[in-house]
Chain A
């Protein structure tokens, strides 16, 4: 199922279809899941420098949407920046809101 979602999300991005609301969780898993799910490269690297239990971005209690957005666009430590072609602004906003759980 996850695999289909990846394709669907990319096709939607390609077609610029922003009419339907973007589901932040789905977008996060499609665009960030390569590294930031359980056992992922980003999760392992974060595990070395954040408090225990906070390496998984979805479990972080302290992320703010603006911060998520800034990290995605400028990169952080070994994470390369993501272009607007890879994740467009509307999709990134949905991801940031999802990870921030309401914190701006």
Chain B
């Protein structure tokens, strides 16, 4: 691995900064060997990942150490790239946007500081993973449920701050944040919400403070380093019911999205769920070669084989009902009344009652099974997602599906899609799977992604989250009044981070010192 330096810095200047970091965290937690730097590369990079290689990493153990590191970074003009556990797979992992940045690895700060079983909240450090919190709740027999994303390997806090989702009524993870502690770009320490008052007793009970509420400022941003997060957890319900639904035809998406949206809007269904095509199921448990080994996009004949084998439809989704027994039963009836007239057989309900094995319930349990999909094409697998946000409208969803599928077909890429149903929106997550060692696949991915962005923008949609490589393009698609939002973000950035220390370029926000990279 060739040496890389932070922009504008000499080797001597970098060495002086690293030595200063060592004095804060101890020698063993400044990680700058070639091997260390390899471990922070994007495992799913499109290409070799070296365009986002860090100059090293520093791993603090406390908020005080983070403050000291940020001050040193200002002094030496070294950009820091904060990461919680580095498992933001598909979006860049722990790799920095600007090559030569120092990864600020918060993984050692992994304490579960508080869990309140009665009030249903917790206070976490960045390095607490979904597995850690789950284990803690289980071992201490705390009847609170988690919402977990598809990849449960990562950090609870990192996922929430990137606006990740899960599949329980608490699945909008950012919306469960209640109080943050943040190291600001000048090294100062801030607490948001009620935490702005020292020793406030309701920090994890009320999301706002007095006056403006700044928590959103620290989501998908580079305005600070979050060191503690208050977070709401769901009290264990009395009962859950799982209903698996399959729809045989691609065109079913039209009526289904309209019907399902009504169930979401009325809060009969209270959770995000994934309305996905057959390839989701196929890629989770098998490889492409098991079904089709030819060129071009996965053909309908292979799709038929998949559907027959798994006994699934073109579209498949799982609905969940959570709550008191009577409420859950009543909701089940409404779901049946809504969907069964369109189906050829009644829905099969899988009930769970408190006291039965947790595996039967709809509790969020961490898993990495979803990572299986990257093995679809074999080799060194990876994926990126193209995920525009849309109105929850059946006609629009049908049109979007047809457009996206036509593009995948045109480029010869297997179409893997899902329409995640929020309460008032759809997130159309199109996964782009690849084998990093296959130049034919990688070439078409490079050509396909910008086309998808442009197509979707032409219809008035934009992405909710994206990979490092596309942050600038997606940020540029938010172009109202010639980029008024970008100008505000830059004005804030320059005001609070004049040296451009924290994550330059993240989500298209460039500090003055690095703005020449923005083109």
Given A45-B372, A78-B374, residue A34 in contact with residue B131 (CB < 8 A): yes
List residues of chain B with CB within 8 A of the CB of A77: 375, 379-381
Q: In the complex the two chains form, is B368's CB within 8 Å of A34's CB?
A: yes
Q: In the complex the two chains form, is A48's CB within 8 Å of B41's CB?
A: no
Q: Is B123 an interface residue (CB 8 A)?
A: no
Complex Cα–Cα for A40 and B366 (A): 12
Q: In the complex the two chains form, is A40's CB within 8 Å of B135's CB?
A: no
Q: Which of B59, B109, B139 contacts A7 (CB 8 A)?
A: B139
Q: In the complex the two chains form, is B61's CB within 8 Å of A14's CB?
A: yes
Q: In the complex the two chains form, is B368's CB within 8 Å of A83's CB?
A: no
Interface size on B, residues (CB 8 A): 47
Q: Is A73 an interface residue (CB 8 A)?
A: yes
List residues of chain B with CB within 8 A of the CB of A79: 43
Complex Cα–Cα for A82 and B108 (A): 14
List residues of chain A with CB within 8 A of the CB of B111: 14
What is the size category of the interface that chain A forms with chain B?
Answer: 20 to 34
Q: In the complex the two chains form, is B39's CB within 8 Å of A84's CB?
A: yes
A-B residue pair count with CB separations less than 8 angstroms: 94
Beta-carbon nearest neighbor of A80 in chain B:
B43
List residues of chain B with CB within 8 A of the CB of A86: 85-86, 107
CB distance from A18 to the nearest CB of B (A): 10
Q: In the complex the two chains form, is B135's CB within 8 Å of A6's CB?
A: yes
Beta-carbon nearest neighbor of A40 in chain B:
B368
Complex Cα–Cα for A44 and B374 (A): 12
List residues of chain A with CB within 8 A of the CB of B110: 10-11, 14
List residues of chain A with CB within 8 A of the CB of B327: none
Q: In the complex the two chains form, is B368's CB within 8 Å of A41's CB?
A: yes
Q: In the complex the two chains form, is B382's CB within 8 Å of A81's CB?
A: no
- Can you list 8 A-B contacts with CB-CB less than 8 angstroms, sorted by A residue number? A7-B135, A11-B110, A45-B372, A45-B375, A48-B287, A81-B38, A81-B39, A85-B105
Residues of A within 8 A of B (CB): 2-4, 6-7, 10-11, 13-14, 16, 34-35, 40-41, 44-45, 48, 73-75, 77-86, 88
The 5 closest A-B pairs by CB, nearest first: A3-B135, A80-B43, A78-B381, A85-B107, A81-B39
